[in-house]
């Protein structure tokens, strides 16, 4: 934002994220930690996943984390992967081997306590769901969704998407004025998170609630049963973790100080254009 009328260029400081985006971002960052940690603890109470309306120990599980004595394993769709030390059996705080699915360093609380994990999960679920609805409404009202996130027709051309993917793969991130707006891969991943994964977490959560499934029986139909909803809750959570890992990696690659500042103060310095060669 130069004071003169010259066009925007690399090195300029621009206003990147509005207050609602910054607030929602950091609330979500905290909520993700609590929901993931307490969610993994809840999973430990019954570390098996099923498809369909019902599913318990006598029924076949498509995913199971368990142990044969001192050997931890992860069974997915018939394949068995040894996971001793990480999943199934791991070393607890006391130095003793602990036979639980997810290890204490990843769960809230760090020792087995289903009741306490549920309190965390079902309280912070409100801190997750209410701002999600508010932000969705606000993003529709203020044009954020339409202007900043919704892909333009030309951006959706396969050639454009492929070129952007190739640039990302070579870690040639946008610079100069191009960095002032989200690129197509960013738009698609943010939209997938906002429109599919986050509402998907809330709705699969509702489908697992016996009271909500009574009030809104269509929840059981769209997910194919309560145990399918529980499986999808886990799959969506894994997808969110994947998003988180890539997101943090991209922040580190794009310049963590500038990126963090933009999400705290809203101001973002456009990375200078590359020197043209030859």
Q: Rounded to the nearest whole angstrom, what is the least distance from the CB of residue 144 to other proteins in the complex?
A: 27
CA–CA distance from 85 to each of 67, 72, 185, 217, 229 (Å)?
11, 7, 36, 41, 29
Q: Rounded to the nearest whole angstrom, what is the least distance from the CB of residue 269 to other proteins in the complex?
A: 14
Q: How many residues does the chain have?
A: 278
CA geometry: angle at 142 spanning 136 and 147, to 5°? 90
Closer by beta carbon to other proteins, 189 or else 209: 209
Contact 232, 62 (CB under 8 A): no
Closer by beta carbon to other proteins, 8 or else 56: 56
Q: Rounded to the nearest whole angstrom, what is the least distance from the CB of residue 152 to other proteins in the complex?
A: 33
Q: How far apart are CA 210 and CA 206, in angstroms?
A: 8
At which residue do the structure tokens 């004071």 appear? 3
Contact 101, 65 (CB under 8 A): yes
Contact 128, 28 (CB under 8 A): yes
Closer by beta carbon to other proteins, 192 or else 249: 249
Phi, psi of 67 (to 5 degrees): -150, 145
Contact 194, 172 (CB under 8 A): no
Contact 179, 173 (CB under 8 A): yes
How far does Cα 178 stand from its chain's mean position? 26
Closer by beta carbon to other proteins, 43 or else 236: 43
Q: Rounded to the nearest whole angstrom, what is the least distance from the CB of residue 227 to other proteins in the complex?
A: 6
Q: Rounded to the nearest whole angstrom, what is the least distance from the CB of residue 277 to other proteins in the complex?
A: 22
Closer by beta carbon to other proteins, 76 or else 252: 252
Closer by beta carbon to other proteins, 187 or else 230: 230
Q: Rounded to the nearest whole angstrom, what is the least distance from the CB of residue 120 to other proteins in the complex?
A: 6
- Residue among 145, 98, 275, 130 nearest 202 (CA): 130
| 236 token code pair | 């969506």
Q: Rounded to the nearest whole angstrom, what is the least distance from the CB of residue 257 to other proteins in the complex?
A: 6
Footprint of other proteins on this chain (CB under 8 A)?
33-34, 37, 42-43, 45-46, 48, 53-59, 105-111, 113-116, 118-126, 205, 208-217, 220, 226-227, 230, 248, 252, 255-257
Closer by beta carbon to other proteins, 71 or else 221: 221
């Amino acid at each position: 934002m130069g004071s003169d009328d010259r066009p925007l260029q690399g090195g300029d400081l621009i206003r990147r994220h509005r207050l609602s985006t910054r607030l929602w971002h950091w609330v979500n960052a905290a909520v993700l930690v609590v929901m993931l940690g307490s969610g993994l603890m809840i999973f430990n109470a019954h570390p098996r996943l099923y498809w369909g309306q019902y599913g318990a120990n006598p029924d076949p599980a498509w995913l199971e984390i368990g142990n044969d004595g001192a050997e931890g394993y992860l069974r997915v769709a018939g394949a068995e992967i040894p996971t001793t030390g990480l999943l199934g059996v791991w070393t607890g705080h006391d130095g003793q081997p602990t036979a639980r699915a997810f290890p204490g360093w990843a769960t809230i609380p760090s020792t087995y306590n289903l009741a306490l994990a549920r309190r965390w999960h079902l309280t912070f679920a409100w801190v997750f769901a209410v701002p999600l609805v508010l932000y969705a409404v606000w993003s529709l009202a203020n044009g954020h969704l339409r202007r900043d996130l919704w892909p333009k027709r030309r951006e959706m051309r396969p050639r454009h998407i492929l070129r952007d993917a190739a640039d990302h793969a070579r870690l040639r991130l946008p610079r100069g004025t191009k960095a002032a707006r989200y690129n197509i891969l960013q738009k698609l991943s943010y939209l997938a998170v906002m429109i599919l994964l986050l509402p998907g977490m809330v709705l699969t959560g509702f489908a697992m609630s016996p009271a909500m499934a009574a009030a809104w029986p269509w929840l059981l139909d769209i997910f194919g049963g309560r145990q399918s909803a529980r499986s999808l809750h886990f799959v969506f959570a894994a997808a969110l973790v994947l998003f988180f890992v890539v997101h943090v990696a991209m922040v580190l690659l794009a310049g963590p100080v500038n990126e963090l500042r933009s999400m705290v103060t809203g101001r973002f310095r456009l990375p200078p254009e590359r020197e043209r060669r030859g």
